A and B are shown apart, each in its own frame.
Chain A
Amino acid sequence: MRHDLILRVIAKLLIPFILLFALYVQFHGDFGPGGGFQAGVILAAAVIFYALIYGLADARKVVPEPLVESMMAIGVLIYGGVGVAGLLLGGNFLDYFVLDHDSVHGQHRGIFWVEVGVATTVSGVMLKIFYMFAARGNADDE
């Protein structure tokens, strides 16, 4: 697919918008459909799209494997970290009320960081799954 001009140009034009849309979905999760999981999948879809057009090797250069594996773990740690932060600030586990000077802002902050953690893990997992399946058998030699 590398040799198909139309696909390459369209991909180059679209991928930034897909990434932007992923960020939009991420941050508007509490006002409309969206949130961490959906954003993570869209983010991964953008990278997979890139891999389909430009080849797995190029995608691996842009988003290397160790990064992907760490993303999975770091997302869970962020989520757990928010929970533990609630513990350290005097509340229960995953207590958002104590995270800021008043409850509403605390809820905002808690939800924000938890969704960041979820998006990181989900995009990491989706990319890892894609890399592993795509690398199996004959390598993509385009």
Chain B
Amino acid sequence: MNTTMTLGGHFTYFVTIFLMVAGLFIVIARGNLIKKLIGLGIFQTSVYLLYIAPGKLVGGTAPILSDAFTVYSSPLPHVLILTAIVVGVATLALGLALTVRIREAYDSIEEDEILNMDAVPSRQEQA
């Protein structure tokens, strides 16, 4: 009984860890540049969950002052995560812009093909 209660109470943390590890795995294991960015996005989403889920207090209402309520959920995590989301969007946009430029320069967005294309000129450079 005790383990299931702990599992239930910590449900959001399990989801957070799952998303975190899934995102990291995609970044490391996939060679396609766009898939890496998607993995990065999933990884960042897990962080949003980590902040927001504990922000909701049991029995707390929306953080707008009212005489009828005494317990309010914390608005600070939401503000922090808004900032983090904007940062994530900017990073994604920059990553995609770089991917477009790389596609134009290399004609490929697979990491191993790009590294192969790069390895050949560097041997010539030593001449």
B-contacting residues of A (Cβ < 8 Å)?
31, 35, 37, 122, 129, 132-133, 136
A-contacting residues of B (Cβ < 8 Å)?
64, 82, 85-86, 93, 96-97, 100, 104
Question: Are A37 and B86 in contact (CB-based, < 8 A)?
Answer: yes
Min C-beta distance of A63 to chain B, whole Å: 18
Question: Are A37 and B82 in contact (CB-based, < 8 A)?
Answer: yes
Min C-beta distance of B38 to chain A, whole Å: 16
The number of inter-chain residue pairs (CB within 8 angstroms) is 14
Tell me whether chain B's interface is mostly helix, strand or loop, or mixed: helix
Question: Which of B82, B85, B86, B93 interacts with A129 by CB under 8 Å?
Answer: B93
Question: Are B64 and A31 in contact (CB-based, < 8 A)?
Answer: yes
Cα-based distance from A112 to B109 in the complex (angstroms): 44
Question: Are A133 and B100 in contact (CB-based, < 8 A)?
Answer: yes
Cα-based distance from A129 to B93 in the complex (angstroms): 7
Min C-beta distance of A107 to chain B, whole Å: 13
